[in-house]
Amino acid sequence: MPNAYKSRIYSNVLAEFGYSEAEISAKIEQTFYDIFLGENRFYFEVNDGDFRGGYMVDTGNDDVRTEGQSYGLMLAVQLDKREIFDRIWDWTLRYMHVTAGENSGYFAWSCKKDGTRNSEGPAPDGEEYFAMALLFAERRWSHTPYGDAARDILHEMVHKVHEPMFDPETKLIRFVPNAPFTDPSYHLPHFYELFAEYGNPEDSEFFREAAALSREFLQKTCDPKTGLNPNQAQYDGTPTEWQGNRSYFYSDAYRTALNIALDGEWFAADPRQQSQASAIQAFFEDEKQFDFVHSVEGEIIEPQFREPDASDTGMLHPLALKATTAAASLASGGALRELYAKRFWALETRSDKRRYYDNLLYFFSLLALSGHYRIL
């Protein structure tokens, strides 16, 4: 695997298998249009006096989440769209930033489209992406206030007396600050390496250790044969259990393959990631597997909870799963890379109710596979 942190050279898997730079650029532009500008966009702007805001709607749940806002920031900084970045950040600060109480310094994870909060509690994946996008923005646009905001977020995540987002004992990211378990898709060792360099100097050692520990955790929580991981897991990697049911490979879990692939692309710190990425690609070589919900061992299961608009088998985000499994090619190095490049190229963004999550993960995967998801 390459080490883009040192070389600043990024793999372009799509070009490797015959797609031209013009074709790739056109696909990136079209996907940006679909998400931010088109008829089926889920990015919207607010102009209220001097306030210029922007928000990303989770179209499946009709709310605004820190997940979507932070993803929007990351896409904006990667694509050099500063006005969109500033609008999303300003909306987030106005409506989501908690300034009092036990969650002070964090961001309320869900709001109505008018900014009214649905919850005062945070979701750590949002804070992670906020911090990384802001640090990238500081470097891309030479604007220190972005970085200062990121470092404030990181300080709270590590040091908050009431409930830090990183478990003090294991140094692993929590599912929510008061939960004694984690979400494998929240583990972003490639971000932690950069938090160590760009963040608060006093926490550099913590984040380097967190990166190494997260890589170890991902080895434990991803099944060695299937490459699949649970939606939520104990700190030892085993699936959580609730009312006698083990957590399965679903929704949130689809992000993990992309995270492992990016960590391999950016830092190449763990050669075991090649086996992880190869395993999940081998599991889905038979495309029929994309039609089902699975246990981490690969057994087809009937979900305990099914959204009303899910498929008959419980699948809710098939595009997200197909896209991130293709993105695993950055780390897999196997014979299936060409197959997945061609499968990915044939995918199209969704236009229905569930387009938010799927199209965002599709876009991140597109940028990654074309060498455009970069360290800034």
Catalytically active residues are 67, 252
In sequence order, which ranges of the chain are alpha helices (DSSP H)? Answer: 4-7, 13-16, 21-36, 66-78, 82-95, 124-141, 144-159, 189-198, 204-221, 255-266, 273-283, 318-327, 329-332, 337-346, 355-369
Residues 65/115, Cβ–Cβ less than 8 Å: no
CB 96 within 8 A of CB 66: yes
Cα 216 to Cα 270: distance, rounded to the nearest angstrom: 9
Which residues lie closer than 8 Å to 226 by C-beta, 6 or more apart?
A: 279, 280, 283, 294, 296, 297, 298
The CA distance from 66 to 60, in Å, is: 15
Cα 244 to chain centroid, rounded: 28
Report the alpha-carbon distance of residue 117 to residue 66 in Å, rounded. Answer: 11
Quote the crossing angle between the two packed helices 66-78 and 355-369, to the nearest 10°. Answer: 30
What is the spatial distance between Cα 124 and Cα 276, in angstroms, rounded to a whole number?
24
